[in-house]
Chains A and B, each alone.
Chain A
Amino acid sequence: LFFSYFKDLVGREVTVELKNDLAIRGTLHSVDQYLNIKLENTRVVDQDKYPHMLSVRNCFIRGSVVRYVQLPPEEVDIELLHDATRREAR
């Protein structure tokens, strides 16, 4: 379910927070069945705390290290999501 959900979000700007507290903002480029995420136009939210990523513009994030993905609320169609979840649950 979430794979297809993320597929619909490709091209949107999201913020991914990882389990090590690193928060990264970028445009969702692609996603796969493991929910690995590829982001473009990457920038770290709190730049000064994490200087290592200054020159990184595209990145690949392993699905297992994502704590959460922050989405713009206007992208979320609640009814559609509810229906899809009910369908999945059956």
Chain B
Amino acid sequence: MSRIGHDDSFLYTSLATYLGKKLVVLLGDGRHRLGLLRSFDQFASIVLEGACERVIVGDLYCDIPLGLNIIRRENVVLLGEMDMEKEELPSHMTAVSTVEIKRAQKAERDATYLKGSMKNIMEFLGID
């Protein structure tokens, strides 16, 4: 903090404006967490309250792993301030249970894997 000069103070990217706000946190492995920002440090490690993980596979799923999470700085990709008036999700999405969403995720993963392996086979055989 001492490295920041006097005239830099206006441009210091502070997370203080997000304290107590509902945030969308994008994690390094592509997962999404929503929650209230309770605390942060200079390297952007954060404390999230009421954390829930939102998995989207065409449908919506909201899980609640832990009420209070500490997310280490290296895993934080993006913090987005959620506007309460705006739509959280496109209206065509529906909520499903944990089991179903896991099944849908697995199906999607298998489909991508299959597509990938088929492509490899085709390339190997020289088929266009």
A: residues with CB less than 8 A from B are 7, 10, 18, 20, 22, 24, 30-33, 36-38, 42, 51-62, 64-65
Contact = CB atoms under 8 A, between A and B. Distances in A.
Given A54-B88, A54-B89, A57-B86, A10 B11 contact: yes
B56 A51 contact: yes
Interface of B: 3-4, 8, 10-13, 15, 18, 24, 26, 28, 30, 32, 44, 54, 56, 73-74, 76-84, 86-90, 93
B83 A38 contact: no
B78 A18 contact: yes
Contact of B12 (A18, A30, A59): A30
B77 A20 contact: yes
A13 B84 CA distance: 24
Contacts of B90: 51, 54
A7 B10 CA distance: 10
A52 B27 CA distance: 12
Contact of B78 (A32, A33, A55, A65): A65
B34 to A, nearest CB: 9
B32 to A, nearest CB: 5
A54 B90 CA distance: 8
Contact of A36 (B13, B56, B74, B80): B13
